[in-house]
Structure 1
Amino acid sequence: MKKLMLLFFSALLLVACTDNSNNDELKAYVSDFENSGFINNSNQIIVLSEEGIRISSHVQRGKSHRKSNIDKVLEKENIPLTQQFNKVYKDATIKTDGSKYYVTLDENIKLEFEKVGLRIIEDPEGVEYYTQEYSEEN
């Protein structure tokens, strides 16, 4: 009986380790940021275009929401809390590894996101960003 249970649990473990369907769904692609990009509930946007990576913020920032990756960009750019922001970083890059995105806007601004759903990414602060578009990779 013990051998049978051990065999059963070993088979379950093997199936769990080889089932990549969920992992493939959450694979990060640079193209995920193309077209409409991603927007969070505070109306902050990050999008990849032919010109570079555009960061936009059309909200009065303050204590009403968690500090997002984009809030950190605005702080590094010394943008006042009440000022809107829209900038294209021309030499920016996006690299991926598994479900992670590593965005470098310039030598002082580096961001990280993780794909947590088909059209959802999350920054390290737990702020979620959504896209209307499906990646062409999927």
Structure 2
Amino acid sequence: MLKKFSFLTLSLLIFIFIIGCSEEQETNKGEFTADKSDFEDNLFTNRQNQTIGSLIENEIIILGSYSKQAREKTSLDDIISKTSKSTGEDVELTFKNAEIKTKGDKYNITADNGLSLVFKKVGDRIIEDEEGQEYYTAQYPKN
């Protein structure tokens, strides 16, 4: 009888522990909420030293260069390569009438000249483009 009680008690404790752990994982999935203010007076830079951000007075900037050398593609490559005169040339582009719409963890960025980009917030200071490239900022979100 004591063995059955001990076994049942141990089984119940293990069950409670497992449920507790799985609930913690459910609530801590690492999901982040995108907010337009993340881009205000803020720059995000990827490993290829391409930068996007600083939404000021409905303008957004893109800085960087594009090189055809073997490296991972970014969402900014096509935009930068269309305006640079040669491979590796640094460019600074300003897009007017920029608008950032957010839904969940996604940023949808549009602006003049057909600019249309989608990013996903994957950390407090990290966004990811559609190519899977991460962009980092030194500043924490204001909200």
For normalisation by structure 1, the TM-score amounts to: 0.76
Residue-by-residue CA offset, 1:7-36 (whole Å, 9 max, x unaligned):
97999877766x37843xx10011111223
* 8 Å Cα contact 1:35/1:133 also seen in 2: no
Instruction: Could you tell me which runs of 5 or more consecutive residues in structure 2 were left unpaired when the two chains were aligned.
Output: 1-7
One-letter amino acid of the structure 2 residue matched with residue 53 of structure 1: I
1:40 is aligned to 2:50: no
Aligned mate of 1:106, from 95, 98, 112: 112
* 8 Å Cα contact 2:66/2:80 also seen in 1: no
Distance 2:129 2:63 in 1: 16
Q: How far has the Cα of 1:127 moved from its partner?
A: 0.8
- The alignment of Structure 1 onto Structure 2 pairs a total of residues equal to 129
Residue-by-residue CA offset, 1:35-56 (whole Å, 9 max, x unaligned):
2320111111111223510111
* 8 Å Cα contact 1:51/1:88 also seen in 2: no
Distance 1:70 1:93 in 2: 17
Considering Cα pairs closer than 8 Å and 6+ residues apart, tell me whether 1 or 2 has the greater RCO: 1
Residues 85 and 20 of structure 1: CA distance in aligned 2, closer, same or farther (over 3 Å): same
* 8 Å Cα contact 2:33/2:105 also seen in 1: yes
SS class of match (2:121): strand
Q: How far has the Cα of 1:106 moved from its partner?
A: 2.7
SS class of match (1:69): coil
Distance 1:68 1:49 in 2: 24
Residue 79 of structure 1 aligns with which residue?
A: 84
One-letter amino acid of the structure 1 residue matched with residue 98 of structure 2: A
- Identical-residue share of aligned pairs (%): 35
Residue-by-residue CA offset, 1:44-95 (whole Å, 9 max, x unaligned):
11112235101111x45222322211112124x3423232211211111111
RMSD, aligned CA: 2.6
Instruction: Could you tell me which runs of 5 or more consecutive residues in structure 1 were left unpaired when the two chains were aligned.
Output: none
Residue 59 of structure 2 aligns with which residue?
A: 52
Residue 131 of structure 2 aligns with which residue?
A: 125
